[in-house]
Amino acid sequence: MLGEGILKGLGETARNFVGSYVSAERLTTVQYPEERAPEIEATRDFPFLVYDGTDGEAGLRCVACQICEKECPPKCIYIVKSTDKKPDAFGKPQIYPTRFDIDISVCMSCQICVEVCPFEAIKMDTEFELSTTDRFGGLLYDRKELSKSNEYYHKIHPTEAAEVDARLAEEKVKADAKAKAAAAAAAAKAAAVPAQAPAHITPKPPVTAVEGDKQG
């Protein structure tokens, strides 16, 4: 029938319109801030830096490689890398960012920084109550403000955080096995070298002909 599709479409719209007033799961408006809509795991707004353990300084995963800074389209990440190394959460000496700022007034929440980070060190936050009267300083977040624990990451993105943990654990097993194999190879190589004279025995210099005459 001519116009049947239009009538069906209008019927669907009417059903949705009425349903949005009577069906509890479709009432999308809440009396914010007294009421809050349930959090959705896929929500994202601005990035934060993940740290392992309880120390936000020592446990920071970021090694200041600056890939995110280079790839950020509006260039709102500012990193200064350290000139020394500090042990990370697993005791491995690492370069770290002495400065890591994100200007969230410029950030466009594209998540590219998250996707390019090889160390699972930067993730998207869901915190949205960030209004401030300070347009500049108040929206320039430094390393301390950006650092949040892995537990927090699990709380806001449980599925994604569990996948990341599994991936990191797998990588650690591979890295440990590689280090063990390298150590075993080095030990085998050392064992194959012929025994040398102990360092404390200094060989006597050869006696020259002149010295030999003097002695005679």
User: Is 51 in contact with 89 (CB distance < 8 Å)?
Assistant: yes
Please provide the distance, in angstroms rounded to a whole number, between the alpha carbons at the two ends of the chain.
Answer: 131
Cβ atoms of residues 47 and 125 within 8 Å: yes
CB of 161 to ligand SF4, least distance (A): 16
> Of the listed pieces 51-59, 62-70, 141-149, 189-197, which binds ligand SF4 according to CB under 6 A?
62-70
Question: Order of strands across the sheet with 147-149?
Answer: 122-124, 47-51, 147-149
Q: Strands, E, within 168-213: which ranges? A: none
Binding segment (CB under 6 A) for ligand SF4, from list 51-59, 64-72, 195-203, 206-214: 64-72
Q: Does 139 bind ligand SF4 (CB under 6 A)?
A: no
141 burial (CB, 10 Å; 0-12 / 13-18 / 19+) is buried
Minimum distance from residue 148 beta carbon to ligand SF4 (Å): 13
Strand order in the sheet with 140-141: 77-81, 97-103, 140-141
63 binds ligand SF4 (CB under 6 A): yes
110 binds ligand SF4 (CB under 6 A): yes
DSSP structural state of residue 78: E
- Residue 71: CB minimum distance to ligand SF4, A: 6
* Rounded distance between C-alpha atoms, residue 123 and residue 119, angstroms: 11
| Interface stretch with ligand SF4, choices 8-16, 110-118, 166-174, 189-197 (CB under 6 A) | 110-118
Which position among 51, 79, 94, 139 is part of the footprint of ligand SF4 (CB under 6 A)?
79
Binding of ligand SF4 by 111 (CB under 6 A): yes
Of positions 51, 64, 141, 153, contacts ligand SF4 by CB under 6 A: 64
d(CA 108, CA 95): 28
Minimum separation from the CB atom of position 12 to ligand SF4 (A) = 37
Using CB under 6 A, list all residues that contact ligand SF4: 47, 62-68, 72-74, 76-77, 79, 102, 107-113, 117, 119, 121-122
